[in-house]
Structure 1
Amino acid sequence: MKRYFLIIVAILTLSCHKDKVVNENPYLPNYSFSVVINTSLPSYNNLQFPSNPVLITNAGAGIKGIIMMKVGTDDYRAYEASCPNQYPSDCSQLTINGINGKCPCDSKEYSLYTGVGVSGGQYPLKPYRVEISGANLRVYN
């Protein structure tokens, strides 16, 4: 009987953490938000084509904004636009450099396909979830 109880507790514990966000980056806080991006609008039209990243700085979109990019058919990536290896400051908003995000403070670059540092860095870019609904993309944390 004790064995069955332990198995049930283990299953419930593991299933409860399925959608839990793990934020091990001490520099970037884990704010909750939700924004809808309409790819039919001229500002976001580049998101209809692969490898054309867009910086989104709408109010309430992440900490310093979001960098989004289409990477394949119905596959989008969205990352926090803050440099992941330093506290948010005046120079810590990433800029777009081709298919990479570049931090102006320390010149480190991060792949917008994987979020991993191209030129080093302890932490990768902070990813956000993307939900597709026609021409609308919902980005949330």
Structure 2
Amino acid sequence: MKHFWTIGLLALILSCSSDTTNRNPYLQEVGFRLELNLNLPLYNDLNNIGNPIYVPNNGVGTRGAFVIKSSLNTFYAFEASCPNHAPNDCSTMTIDGQNVVCSCEGYTYSLFTGQQLDRPDDGNRYYDLLFYSATQSGNTVTISN
């Protein structure tokens, strides 16, 4: 019986994660689910690879989301608020081709990878775009967190 409790306690300790970090300290984890009907003109650009859209809906992330079709059956969705500072008046990014740009510092991020393309080499930590789930079922793309 003593070994049972020892094994149980050891399993409990090993299963606990000490990683209490947020994916990004500047952006809150906002839970949401939104369906995008690809038959609607508003989302028609998502029928073609490489044409991103901005989804400004209230309740979708912090400042909305950017969605892009990256291959025949793959979509990516990212938070629209710049990941390298707290949300403010200039932090909602804008689409520039297949990238997004933060007007606060001019940082550029790829919508195909989420990576910051112009990361300064100054020893500070920089964050890539905050990723959201994007799945397709028929003519509907569901983005969620």
Pick the TM interval, shorter chain.
Answer: 0.7 to 0.9
| Deviations 1:107-138, CA, capped at 9 Å, x for gaps | 00001011010011600000001121111111
User: In 2 relative to 1, CA 6–85 (structure 1 residues): closer, same or farther, beyond 3 Å?
Assistant: same
Are 2:127 and 1:128 aligned? no
**How big is the alpha-carbon RMSD for the aligned residues of Structure 1 and Structure 2?**
2.0
3-state DSSP class of the match of 1:44? Answer: helix
SS across alignment from 2:43: helix
**Is the Cα–Cα contact under 8 Å of residues 80 and 92 in structure 2 kept in the other structure?**
yes
TM-score normalised by length of structure 1: 0.85
Superposed CA offset, 1:8-58 (max 9, x none): 6588x38xx8xxxx7331110111111111111111101011100000101
Aligned residue pairs total: 134
Q: Which residue of 2 aligns with 1:35?
A: 34
How far residue 6 of structure 1 moved from its aligned partner, in angstroms, is 6.9
Identical amino acids, percent of aligned pairs: 36
Instruction: Show structure 2 runs of 5+ residues with no match.
Output: 121-125
Higher alpha-carbon Rg? 2
**TM-score of the two chains, using structure 2 as the length reference:** 0.83
Report matched runs for 1:31-110 at 5 Å.
31-110=30-109
Q: Whole-Å Cα distance in 2 between the matches of residues 28 and 94 of structure 1?
A: 14
Mapped partners of 1:72, 1:10: distance in 2: 42
Looking at structure 1, the residues matched to 38 and 104 of structure 2 have their Cα atoms a distance apart, in angstroms, of 31
Distance in structure 1 (CA, Å) of the matches to 2:32 and 2:12? 32
Q: Which runs of 5+ in 1 are unaligned?
A: none
Deviation track 1:41-78 (CA, whole Å, cap 9, x = no partner) reads: 11110101110000010121111010000000110000
Structure 1 runs of 4+ with >2 Å offset: 1-11
Distance in 2 separating the partners of 1:106 and 1:33: 28
